Chains A and B, each alone.
Chain A
């Protein structure tokens, strides 16, 4: 490894020693913020980058670590962290992850021995870094034709950390942060079912009081658990959780608000609540614009078109099936419009809607449906209480109830 131009051996020696001193100072002064900075490998701070260069210049860092009692006690943490940083700098992500995991393991052992929870913030940095490094290591593995497995390993490590924090002491408030990192790992891996066991620990273990956790972590937690409810189409629960996340999210974190809304909007639509246009504009959620418009107008063609246009995006986020189901509400709106038009022409006869009229309306929307299918749809709408009335097969007409023929959903999903 060539020496870096501009960095002499002496300089390298100095930088490494500086890091070691800052590390041991942070620990002895219980300065979690400094420690966090020192461990944030992927932050690419100039300090760490030049330390990486120093390590690649002066190779015998282990000798330096053993030099003083102040930091030799942390030799496992430091030696492996240095290796991780060195290999990271040389774009060898696989090795970087391996070394980082060893360093993090050693850190956990120390952390266990510290009685108070002073170092939690530094632990958070480790949890974050291990996930991010694992993702990058897996990308490297995949591009080399090998099977990615480091993110899964990071998941196991994080479970271990969770176990360390799940106790009666003050460290337990850190468990939610680690949980959220686990959620991110499982969502990325697609092994979402593994979230269940952590959720169960958080929600049923007596040592945890949800209100005690930091607000930022609660928002993230509700966001992910809300998304799980969306996958399972539990709309009332999804609404609760995602709304909680939205209400408590820092209003300046627009990217986060956007992410929450991305899932909350389909949920709200399913319970009959439409967002205003300005909301969609402000947070750049234009993919929902046509969907909302279709619901307002009873325009089935527009709904189908919107689903097709953004099909890949909706499938990827897992809301496609939720949006597809809005079709029934669109039909309801269409029939309601026909009813209003008829009311204007002749209020006494408005409540009788000929099936042929609906067929014609659908034809204008370029939807080809025969009378039988329209009757089928009407019978479903009546069955699910989206329309009040009855249909007469012989006269091919729907007779609407004189009172409230199109009941609103009122925050409840359509009966399934």
Chain B
């Protein structure tokens, strides 16, 4: 019943072996003067430095740097030693079990776990997966999102942990080229979708799962921004950067500093002009304005009309908040002797209104309390 019938080629039989890893070494200093932030017309004169100091750039000339350049050689999704150890300890996720056997896995199914306590010094290169293997592993992991065999929390949990390990391998090898960008974009998208999907999950510790998801989302997004900075050139901006910047804005709708602790005003200073003027950022900034103003009509209308699915996933909890605000305002300022018509309210707030509430049209307080159980109609 827990059989995994996913077929995938054995990584060691594909061309992505350790011998290929030589070609994939990423060294930012070989970008040959592409780091021309100050010559770019988009640079803001204020800043000498990109958005955030990247911990990933190497200084091959500087005597003070002593970070080793690690190059992974593990050809499998999971290092052999870890695989056999986890077999022994019966520490295998359902997706990793051969024929559902909790004691058996294979090189096709085992995926390296995230290890919090390991440092660069202790990680042998035979346990590190090179870039091509990481790319294949990521695509393999994300393919589980299509299946409905298991409850979403289980799928999420597996992908959550294993992608975290992928990011760990990427960072230990200082991989910060465009391929890394591509991978991080996929991972951030996964976390964003999970924001939405986890909301309909019902198990008891879902709020901590949700919290951890948000934590990794912001970490991955921050790293992604660093990668965009490192790879920026005067000729082009990455095609997806505007979209991911819009995610950042929407994540910070609520208060001025959640969830990264940095205020949006501060963050905006460092965003390149073409990104500010992009369609995606324009949308995000309008939503931000409507939210801060309390303009519930435009907020809901614009979200419904223009939000992409991923943007909606992020905005979703604020929709509830805005509807509640609308009710508070109407309740507070509306003429008490003429109750606010429900059909109009339903249209305004873009939601189905429960029949049982029509008996209580005078008491909008009740609607406020039950608003969380209503679904979006769009």
Contacts and interface: CB of A to CB of B under 8 A. Distances in A.
Interface string B306-348: 0000000000000000000010111011111010110010001
A154 B298 CA distance: 48
B1 interface: no
Contacts of B365: none
B32 A383 contact: no
A324 interface: yes
Interface string A353-381: 00000000000000000001100111110
A238 B324 CA distance: 31
A328 B289 CA distance: 11
A373 B268 contact: no
A145 B51 CA distance: 16
Nearest to B32: A145
B46 A318 contact: no
B57 interface: yes
Nearest to B28: A147
Contacts of B24: none
B265 A380 contact: no
Nearest to B63: A98
Contacts of A317: 269
Contact of B36 (A145, A149, A391): A145
Contacts, number: 155
B269 A316 contact: yes
A343 interface: no
B355 interface: no
A383 B332 contact: yes
Interface stretch (B37-45, B77-85, B138-146): B37-45
Contacts of B336: 390
A188 B59 contact: no
Given A139-B38, A151-B48, A232-B263, A325 B268 contact: no
Given A231-B265, A379-B334, A143 B31 contact: no
Interface size class of A (residues with CB under 8 A): 35 or more
A143 B273 CA distance: 20
B292 A372 contact: no
Interface stretch (B147-155, B185-193, B254-262): B254-262
A247 interface: no
B220 to A, nearest CB: 19
Interface string A130-156: 000001001100111111110110000
A193 interface: yes
Nearest to A331: B293
A91 interface: no
B209 interface: no
Given A318-B268, A380-B294, 5 more contacts: A147-B28, A151-B48, A377-B295, A391-B334, A393-B341
9 contacts: A135-B48, A139-B38, A142-B35, A146-B29, A151-B49, A189-B49, A231-B256, A324-B289, A380-B293
Interface of B: 28-29, 31-39, 44, 46-49, 51-54, 57, 59, 62, 256-257, 261-266, 268-271, 273, 276, 288-289, 292-298, 326, 328-330, 332-336, 338, 340-341, 344, 348
